[in-house]
Structure 1
Amino acid sequence: MQTTYHNETPVPFAIACAVGQFLLTILILKFGFSLAPPEAYGKVKLLAFASTIVYPLVLAHAFGLWKRLALGLGRIRPEPVFLASLSTAALFLPWGLRSADGGKILSDFTIQLFNAFGEELLFRGVIFALLLSLPVWRAIVLNGLLFGAMHLIHGFMDTDWKTACWKMVVTSIAGMMFTAVRYRSGSLWLCVVLHMVLNLCMMYSKVQDAAASTVFLVERAANVIELALAAWVVFGARRAASAPAAA
Structure 2
Amino acid sequence: MHATHDTEPPVPFAIACAVGQFLLTILILKFGFSLAPPEAYGKVKLVAFASTILYPLVLAHAFGLWKRLALGLDRIRPEPVFLASLSTAALFLPWGLRSVDAGKVLSDVTIQFFNAFGEELLFRGVIFALLLSLPVWRGIVLNGLLFGAMHLIHGFMGTDWKTACWQMLVTSIAGMMFTAVRYRTGSLWLCVILHMALNLCMIYSNVHGAAESTVFMVERGANVIEIALAAWVIFSARRTGTAPAAA
> Could you say whether these structures have the same fold, taking a TM-score greater than 0.5 normalized by the shorter chain as the test?
yes
Cα deviation for residue 228 of structure 1 reads: 0.0
| Contact preservation (8 Å) 2:124, 2:182 | yes
Residue 159 of structure 1 and its aligned partner are, at CA, apart by 4.0
Q: Which residue of 1 aligns with 2:228?
A: 228
Q: CA offsets per residue over residues 66-91 of structure 1, 9 Å max, x none?
A: 00000011111100000000000000
Segments of structure 2 that go 5 or more residues without pairing to the other structure are 243-247
In 2, distance between residues paired with 1:61 and 1:167? 31
Contact conserved, 1:6 with 1:13, CA < 8 A, in 2? no
Q: Which residue of 2 aligns with 1:216?
A: 216
* Residue matched to 1:177: 177
Deviates more, 1:58-67 or 1:157-166: 157-166
With over 3 angstroms needed to count, the CA separation of the structure-2 counterparts of 1:15 and 1:198, relative to structure 1, is same
Residue 191 to residue 241, structure 1, CA distance change in 2 (3 Å): same
Unaligned segments of structure 1, at least 5 residues: 243-247
In structure 2, C-alpha distance between the alignment counterparts of 1:41 and 1:182, rounded to whole Å? 35
Alignment of 1:134-173 (within 5 A): 134-173=134-173
Tell me what 1:245 maps to. Answer: none
Asked if the contact 1:7–1:130 (Cα under 8 Å) also holds between the matched residues in 2, the reply is no
Cα deviation digits, residues 65-122 of structure 1 (max 9, x gap): 0000000111111000000000000000000100000110000000000000000000
TM-score normalised to structure 2 length:
0.96
Q: Is the alpha carbon distance of 1:83 and 1:196 closer, same or farther for their aligned partners in structure 2, counting shifts above 3 Å? A: same
Report how many aligned residue pairs link the two structures. Answer: 242
How much does 1:2 deviate?
A: 2.9
The answer as to whether partners of 1:207 and 1:215 remain within 8 angstroms in 2 is yes
* Map of 1:119 onto structure 2: 119
Aligned residue type for 2:215: V
Distance 2:7 2:147 in 1: 20
Alignment of 1:74-153 (within 5 A): 74-153=74-153
Task: Tell me if 1:26 matches 2:42.
Answer: no
Q: Which residue of 1 aligns with 2:245?
A: none
Q: Secondary structure at the match of 1:158?
A: coil
Give 1:4 deviation, angstroms: 1.7
Work out whether 1:56 is the aligned partner of 2:56. yes
RMSD: 0.9
TM-score by length of 1: 0.96
Summarize deviations over 1:19-74 as a string: whole Å, max 9, x none: 00000000000000000000000000000000000000000000000000000111
Separation in 1 of the partners of 2:108 and 2:91? 20
Percent of aligned pairs with the same amino acid: 86
2:206 and 2:118 map into 1 onto residues whose CA distance is 27
